[in-house]
Amino acid sequence: MVFQTRFVSDVAQDRLINRFGGVKIKDLDLIGAKAVYLPPKAEAALAHQFGVLRIDDDVVVEALIRGGIATKPTPTQPSEVLPWGVDRIDTDLVWGITTGDPIQVAIVDTGIDVKHPDLVGNLKGGVSTVAYTRKYNDDNGHGTHVAGIAAAIDNTIGVGPKIDLYAVKVLDRRGSGYLSDVIEGLDWAVANGMQVVNMSLGTASDVQSFHDAVARVYAAGITQVAAAGNTGGAVIYPATYPEVIAVSATDNTDTIASWSSRGLEIDLAVPGVSIYSTYKGSTYKTLSGTSMAAPHVAGVAALVLTVPEKCEFLLDSVSGCSPAEVQQRLEATAENLGVVGKDNLYGSGLVDAEKAVLQ
């Protein structure tokens, strides 16, 4: 459970939790809450106590890879490759001006392979919020794949090959975790001055604590990008929240993937089918999913942040440009793919890195 009270004192909060047989798992300072274990019959009783604002379920959050569409990892990549997704959004056309340095991008995921030759030069640090390890090394592979799309250095090149990467490990070796771990990871991102947060993860559950956390990150001036989901149905959370840029996935014909979630919440579309990128164990892999689409946008957002003069108003944010300004620029310069204007499949269209940075 994620437990919020009106009590300022930790002692008072802990006393109330203990009174009902609960056990505190961790503090969630970002939203003034605690993750706790409560006996089955205690929740209803505790919810009616004076001072208790809300008790939310600590729901499971999962990586958004499209199951069944993957190649076996290859141990080496013999020559430099410009992945088709990076090429399609014209990222290479701005590298003469910016490659993302020194923007800090947090990959909130399963961690990042700390020894991968195409990532180690950009990997500047990180944190693990999962219970079984304090190390942020990737024991799943998903986070490493996502990180490579955003910022691989060589061989398979990322959107911003000089972006500063930070691994925020909130998902376990199976690619799943708890909402409380994600919230703690977002707290770390705020405390450590991240400028872009990528969340290639989600849940079908709309939990107020999750929205509160996302809103706090947004208020801190951090641009957030999230995968829309792979069900072919409604957009999931956190992509649904208005503070987050929701990303759908397209194939190499600029057609929405059949499994890509859709709805009014979709902001942008980018490649997410058969994306080649880095993988755990210093290998490479082809994967599909809105998980693969989102880091393309996160990478371009980082490129935009290197040219703050392109923003209409320099607001008081970590990055110079506010999250709203970054999103507005990405949408205003996107290539329309669906009906004229914003639609439920492609949002404002396909991200165009060249126009977003230069126009």
Say which residues have a Cβ less than 8 Å from residue 234's Cβ, sequence separation at least 6. Answer: 240, 261, 262, 263
Say which residues have a Cβ less than 8 Å from residue 293's Cβ, sequence separation at least 6. Answer: 85, 227, 228, 247, 248, 249, 250, 260, 269, 270, 271, 272
Instruction: Please give the backbone phi and psi of residue 339, each rounded to the nearest 5 degrees, phi first.
Output: -65, 160
Identify the helix (H) or strand (E) that includes residue 128: strand 123-128
Residues classed as catalytic: 109, 142, 291
Q: Which two tokens stand for residue 331?
A: 């949408």
Measured in whole angstroms, how far is the alpha carbon of residue 97 from the centre of its chain? Answer: 26
- In order of 14, 164, 330, the CA distances from 2 in angstroms are 13, 32, 34
CA pair distance 108, 130, nearest whole angstrom: 12
In 3D, which of 128, 199, 188, 121 has the Cα closest to residue 158? 121
